[in-house]
Amino acid sequence: MDKKTNAPQNNFIMHPTNDVCFSGLMENPVVRKGFCAAVLRISPDEILDTELLPTHLHRDYVNDKLGILDVLVRMPDGIQINMEMQIKDFEFWDERALFYLSKMYTGQLKSGEDYENLQKCIHVSILDFIHFPEDNRCFRTLHFRDDDTGKLYSNKLELQILELKKLPPEVRTEEEIIRWMRFFNGKSREEFENMAMSSEYLGEAYEVLQKLSADDKKRIEYEAREKAIRDYNALMNSAKRRGHLEGREEGLKEGLKEGMEKGMEEGLKEGMEKGMEEGLKEGMEKGMEKGMEKGMEKGMEKGMEKGLKKGLKKGRNEGIHEGIKLVRRVDRLHDKGATNEQIAQECMISVEEVDKILGTGHF
């Protein structure tokens, strides 16, 4: 089916980190072959063909604008590669990747088939956020290994995690997987044009990218995806700010209540003891009356004082704790080379707040 295309307007170019764009790139067999070769660390000449398989993860954008699109490819030798592009931090990404890797592996067998028919499966996570903050490695490969010896147990299940935010400065001799990561992380026509000259496969990827950017239907899908992500980010930022405020209010309320109760108990006990002691001297009846009166008075006074102090302290500590966590995260991302705009998006705060944190080191 022919697709309607127009010349790019205002130099518009799609960003491959948008998974609508990414999946469109992988529909091209030449682009798919080049990237699969980089994933397998082999020359593209060693790959005769690749087969794009239907996948259960595809979403209907009308009903699920934030569903994650994936690309599933089968190699001539039976190896399957599942690729997913994700731009926002996903709390349970590791669990999700393991789940779909397992589903891909077990889904190879039909009823009655032997286990020997199972082929290697690779899940590739292309992440536009920092998933492993403890080091600077921008890509890693994970397998099942013996805990004591480190010996590989099986290579049938493999996870690859590519972190675009950790890309190092460009050098002349780079692994192909790094070059593809740079392409996926590109933001301008000039960047893509320069990378297109480095290999025929990246050149083909740039050609496809230009066609996708000029395709009216694809651009509508792309912009709907971008809008859905912006709306989601705004909603999450609002919820986070509201949660911080409610947390401080709740801390103050709970601290005041707890302090009141404890202060009343201690004050009543202390007042009773003192009243009983004085009452023994003046008379049991008068002493009991005075003890109750002093206990109630002192309990109320002490409860109010302790409750207020404890509530204010708890609310202040929670606010300080959240602020310290935020400053540390901003500093960590800044040390990794992220721009203030990227840091603001990642931490869900304004660029002005990022400037303030980096300028003073604290709020």
* pLDDT tens by residue, 57-102: 444 443 444 445 689 999 999 999 999 999 888 789 999 999 999 9
Q: What are phi and psi of 15, to 5 degrees?
A: -100, 125
Nearest to 325 by CA among 347, 308, 303: 347
Q: Which two tokens stand for residue 272?
A: 């009773």
Q: Which amino acid is at 188?
A: S
Share above pLDDT 90 across residues of the chain, in percent, rounded to a whole number: 50
Cβ-based neighbour number of residue 151 at 10 Å: 8
Asked if 269 and 172 sit in the same domain, the reply is: no
Asked if 163 and 294 sit in the same domain, the reply is: no
Asked if 161 and 94 sit in the same domain, the reply is: yes
The whole-angstrom separation of Cα 341 and Cα 334 is 11
Asked if 139 and 267 sit in the same domain, the reply is: no
Q: Which two tokens stand for residue 9?
A: 């307007």
The whole-angstrom separation of Cα 149 and Cα 54 is 39
Q: Which two tokens stand for residue 237?
A: 């930022």
CA-CA distances (angstroms) from residue 105 to 80, 149, 193, 325, 356?
9, 26, 38, 39, 49
Q: Domain end: 198, 214, 230, which one?
A: 214
- pLDDT category at 273 given cuts 50, 70, 90 is confident
In a domain, 4, yes or no: no
Residue 13 has pLDDT above 90, yes or no: yes
Residue 4 has pLDDT above 80, yes or no: no
Residue 280 has pLDDT above 80, yes or no: no
In a domain, 46, yes or no: yes
Tokens 């590989």 identify what position?
A: 152
Residue 173 has pLDDT above 80, yes or no: yes
Q: Report the range out of 83-92, 292-301, 308-317 with the highest average pLDDT.
A: 83-92
How confident is the model over 90-113, as pLDDT tens digits? 789 999 999 999 999 999 998 889
In a domain, 282, yes or no: yes
In a domain, 5, yes or no: no
Residue 51 has pLDDT above 80, yes or no: yes
pLDDT of residue 312: 66
Asked if 208 and 337 sit in the same domain, the reply is: no
Asked if 75 and 192 sit in the same domain, the reply is: yes
How confident is the model over 227-268, as pLDDT tens digits? 877 776 676 677 667 777 777 778 778 877 887 788 778 877
Report helix angle 351-360 to 284-335, nearest 10. Answer: 100
121: enclosing H helix or E strand: strand 121-127
Sign of the dihedral defined by the CA atoms of residues 320, 326, 332, 334, in that order: negative
Q: Are strands 152-163 and 80-86 parallel, antiparallel or unpaired?
A: unpaired
In a domain, 226, yes or no: no
Asked if 179 and 54 sit in the same domain, the reply is: yes
Across all residues in the chain, what is the average pLDDT?
84
In a domain, 94, yes or no: yes
125: enclosing H helix or E strand: strand 121-127
pLDDT of residue 231: 77
In a domain, 29, yes or no: yes
**Please, are residues 268 and 218 in contact by the beta-carbon 8 Å criterion?**
no
The whole-angstrom separation of Cα 248 and Cα 317 is 9
In a domain, 83, yes or no: yes
Alpha carbon 142 to chain centroid distance? 19
The whole-angstrom separation of Cα 325 and Cα 315 is 16
Q: Domain end: 147, 180, 214, which one?
A: 214
Asked if 257 and 207 sit in the same domain, the reply is: no
Write the Ramachandran bin of 9: left for phi over 0, alpha for psi from -120 to 50, otherwise beta.
beta
Asked if 96 and 42 sit in the same domain, the reply is: yes
How many independent structural domains does the chain possess? 2
Q: Which amino acid is at 27?
A: E
Asked if 295 and 176 sit in the same domain, the reply is: no
pTM over 0.75: no
**CA distance from start to end of the chain:** 57
- Domain span at residue 96 reads 19-107+117-214
Asked if 156 and 297 sit in the same domain, the reply is: no
Asked if 248 and 334 sit in the same domain, the reply is: yes
Residue 286 contacts by C-beta under 8 Å, 6 or more apart in sequence? 279
How confident is the model over 138-166, as pLDDT tens digits? 999 999 999 999 999 999 999 999 999 99
